[in-house]
């Protein structure tokens, strides 16, 4: 029997990354296309199919793909559609799963949003192997989250549950968030949020900082990090401020689902003790006594270059199993999300 693979596809606002993944979680090969090259979704799927088939042929895997998993903004696990994908050019209610499956001759497809895909990938291949209750937090341009309870991703009744980046952490005079509300966690604890904090601190304070040598409107979270590791006091305080907000938010998340771990992924999570120390201190001081010391905060074990594809590919195994079980059986209950990686 030929070795089975799944295809993992991560649709980002700029690039779509896809890869061939085996049952051990090894990315055999990967490539990418520009997401926004085509404003017509059918044209996008056609190019995706062409480039994926080229990759499969190069790796002698044309007939070995068992399932396809896709992570995308606002992707709905239940309906297989992208709903209100504001960073994508194809409008509302895009039939993502149906059209991709059709393009690939009926190979089963499962989709979810990118943070849920990351959680599934972590549970299958990374730091959450063996865990049934954890929360995945992605700290990038925004704050994404995937909640796993009793081994299952929480989707809610409509497929959109788990938007912890949009819980309100500042009730009065909070920053405007990209979602349209004010005071969301994402507006403070994302890479974008760190840059906004830097601009606010520089405007209202007078103490010296190497950040003052930069164009204030162009400051990034990396600029703040670079300044902080050289000992810049203001830059370090920006991370203290960010970590405190995150830690307090984590204390609330723990009260909600009592996770074994909160797993961090994304560029901002690589800030080391600059972020982790104030985060953990604030979490421990804010959490209810009954939960104290029970939830660890750890970093993702997925390689950043492969994480998006791996997360989506884990959903590909689930798509395979869902297609195999009888219609009267719950696919979620009948099969694991993916083979256990060794």
Domain membership flag for residue 177 = yes
Same domain, 166 and 292: yes
Q: Residue 187: enclosing H or E segment and its boundaries?
A: helix 186-189
229 and 85 fall within a common domain: no
Specify whether 58 is located in the same domain as 103: yes
pLDDT tops 90 at residue 248: yes
Confidence of residue 165 (pLDDT cuts 50, 70, 90): very high
CA-based max dimension of the chain: 69
Residue 197: predicted pLDDT: 98
Tokens representing 305 are 């270059």
Task: Please check whether residue 125 lies inside any domain of the structure.
Answer: no
What is the reported pLDDT for 338?
A: 52
pLDDT at 331: 38
Do residues 287 and 248 share a domain?
yes
Q: Are residues 314 and 329 in the same domain?
A: yes
Q: Closest by alpha carbon to 154, among 113, 185, 190?
A: 113
Q: For residue range 215-228, list pLDDT tens digits in order.
A: 999 999 999 999 99
Task: Say how many Å lie between the first and final Cα of the chain, rounded.
Answer: 21
Q: Is the pLDDT assigned to residue 184 strictly greater than 90?
A: yes
Q: Domain check: are 90 and 182 in the same one? A: no
Are residues 54 and 20 both part of a single domain?
A: yes
In a domain, 341, yes or no: no
Q: How confident is the model at residue 326 (pLDDT cuts 50, 70, 90)?
A: low
DSSP 125-162: HSTTTT-SSEEEEEESSSEEEEEEETTEE--TTTS---
Contact 81, 112 (CB under 8 A): no
**Which pair of structure tokens corresponds to residue 213?**
């040598």
- The average pLDDT across 145-173 equals 94
Rounded CA-CA distance 319/309 in Å is 15
- Rounded to two decimals, what is the model's pTM? 0.87
136, 265: one domain: yes
- Domain extent, residue 11, equals 5-119+303-334
Q: Would you say the C-alpha torsion 21, 101, 18, 165 has a positive or negative sign? A: negative
Higher pLDDT, 306 or 80: 80
Contact 217, 198 (CB under 8 A): no
239 & 310 share domain: no
Residue 268 lies in a domain: yes
pLDDT for the residue numbered 249: 98
What's the CATH code of the domain at 185?
Answer: 3.30.420.40
Same domain, 136 and 269: yes
Domain count, the chain: 2
pLDDT tens digits along 258-305 = 999 999 998 899 999 999 999 999 999 999 999 999 999 999 988 877
Whether residues 12 and 76 fall in one domain: yes
Q: pLDDT higher for 62 or 326?
A: 62
Confidence of residue 232 (pLDDT cuts 50, 70, 90): very high
What pLDDT does residue 98 have?
97
Q: What is the pLDDT of residue 339?
A: 54
The verdict on residue 339 lying in a domain is no
In this prediction, residue 179 has a pLDDT band, given cuts at 50, 70 and 90, of confident
Nearest 5 degrees, angle CA 333-CA 334-CA 336? 85
For residue 215, being part of any structural domain is answered with yes
Together in a domain, 146 and 252: yes
Rounded Cα–Cα distance for residues 79 and 310 (Å)? 22
57-100 per-position pLDDT tens digit: 999 999 999 999 999 988 999 999 998 776 788 988 999 999 99
Predicted local distance difference test score (pLDDT) of residue 42 = 96
Residue 185 placed within a domain: yes
Let me know if residue 126 belongs to a domain: no
């Amino acid at each position: 029997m030929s070795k089975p693979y799944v295809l993992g596809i991560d649709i980002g606002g700029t690039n779509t990354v896809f890869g061939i993944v085996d049952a051990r979680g090894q990315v055999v090969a990967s490539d990418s296309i520009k997401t926004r090259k085509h404003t017509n979704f059918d044209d996008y799927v056609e190019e995706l199919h062409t480039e994926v088939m080229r990759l499969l042929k190069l790796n002698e895997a044309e007939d070995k793909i068992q399932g396809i998993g896709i992570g995308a903004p606002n992707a709905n696990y239940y309906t297989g559609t992208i709903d209100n994908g504001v960073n994508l050019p194809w409008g509302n209610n895009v039939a993502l799963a149906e059209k991709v499956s059709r393009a690939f001759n009926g190979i089963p497809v499962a989709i979810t949003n990118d943070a849920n895909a990351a959680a599934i990938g972590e549970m299958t291949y990374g730091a959450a192997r063996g865990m049934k209750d954890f929360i995945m937090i992605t700290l990038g341009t925004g704050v994404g989250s995937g909640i796993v309870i009793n081994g299952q991703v929480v989707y809610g009744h409509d497929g959109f549950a788990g938007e912890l980046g949009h819980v309100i952490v500042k009730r009065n005079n909070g920053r405007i968030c990209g979602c349209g509300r004010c005071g969301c966690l994402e507006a403070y604890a994302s890479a974008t949020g760190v840059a906004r904090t830097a601009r606010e601190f520089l405007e209202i304070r007078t103490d010296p900082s190497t950040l003052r040598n930069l164009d204030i409107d162009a400051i990034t979270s990396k600029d703040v990090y670079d300044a902080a590791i050289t000992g810049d006091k203001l830059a370090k305080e920006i991370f203290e401020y960010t970590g405190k907000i995150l830690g307090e938010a984590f204390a609330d998340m723990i009260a909600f689902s009592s996770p074994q771990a909160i797993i961090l992924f994304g560029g901002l999570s690589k800030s080391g003790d600059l972020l982790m120390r104030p985060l953990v201190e604030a979490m421990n001081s804010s959490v209810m006594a009954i939960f104290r010391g029970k939830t660890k905060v750890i970093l993702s074990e997925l390689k950043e270059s492969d994480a998006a594809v791996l997360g989506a590919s884990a959903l590909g195994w689930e798509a395979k199993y869902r297609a195999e079980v009888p219609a009267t059986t719950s696919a979620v209950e009948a099969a694991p999300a993916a083979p256990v990686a060794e």
